[in-house]
Chain A
Amino acid sequence: AQSVTQLDSQVPVFEEAPVELRCNYSSSVSVYLFWYVQYPNQGLQLLLKYLSGSTLVKGINGFEAEFNKSQTSFHLRKPSVHISDTAEYFCAVSDRDTGNQFYFGTGTSLTVIP
């Protein structure tokens, strides 16, 4: 089974500053990778996904992530954050070897400071 680690539980950052949210997973064999955002009392919204091809993936709201197979990482980045980016962010891995079951990280709470 996969394990997904989000190294930072809370990330405060000033508005218009860049941010990186880190995600590592246990095995790079046959996986799809996802980042989701969750606003309070809401479900998950897909930010971006990596399935194959280019390792740099661009998503909605100006976010991007890079798949690094050797480091088994899929860090999320944004060059300039807005107040509206304040939310909980979850990294997820879909493991094709276990019927594409999703494994979620513990989440990173991003707080953008005005």
Chain B
Amino acid sequence: GAVVSQHPSWVICKSGTSVKIECRSLDFQATTMFWYRQFPKQSLMLMATSNEGSKATYEQGVEKDKFLINHASLTLSTLTVTSAHPEDSSFYICSARDFSLAGGLDEQFFGPGTRLTVL
């Protein structure tokens, strides 16, 4: 089945630094990837939709200058949290679509998540 990886799985950083999270589709090409944020005991909130070769589409209330998304290839999207602060601490999950699946199945495959802690 389709596999999505994330790196790193967890990261601790100082306030004011930038952190990059990678999302890779390992065995399929993903023209579209999604970035979600999940607070403890809460659901996933879509942050942005990342399309290969074009600018990401951000959800309302998400600061595009703070959460930089780059989808440079069909298998890699990156989320950079710039000038991170403690309130950015969260669980970040990416997902990817595999449009090549039979019947045009529109399923999202989720990465294992990245736990970001900003001190």
A pairs with B? yes
Q: Which A residues form the contact surface with B (CB < 8 A)?
A: 32, 34, 36, 41-46, 49, 51, 90, 94, 96, 100-102, 104-107, 109
With both chains docked as a complex, state the minimum distance between the C-beta of B103 and any C-beta of chain A, in angstroms: 8
Closest to A94 in B: B106
Inter-subunit contact B115/A41 (CB<8 Å): yes
B108 at the interface (CB under 8 A from A): yes
Contacting pair A106 B106 (CB below 8 A):
no
> Are A44 and B107 in contact, with the CB atoms below 8 A?
no
A92 to chain B, nearest CB (A): 8
B54 at the interface (CB under 8 A from A): no
Interface pair A106/B34, CB less than 8 Å apart: no
- A107 contact from B42, B110, B113, Cβ within 8 A: B42
Hey, which chain A residues are within 8 Å of B115, CB to CB?
Answer: 41
Question: Does the CB pair A105–B113 fall under 8 Å?
Answer: no
Say yes or no: B113 contacts A102, CB within 8 Å: no
Closest CB of chain B to A47's CB: distance in Å?
Answer: 12
A42 to B108, CA, bound (A): 16
Q: Which residues of A contact B34 (CB under 8 A)?
A: 102
Interface contact A106-B42, CB-CB below 8 Å: yes
Chain A residue nearest to B94 (CB atoms) is A43
Smallest CB separation, A31 vs chain B (Å) = 11
State A32–B4 Cα separation when bound (angstroms): 21
Contact of A43 (CB < 8 Å), options: B41, B42, B110: B110
Q: Chain A residue with minimal CB distance to B9?
A: A41
Query: A100 contacts B106, CB within 8 Å?
Result: yes
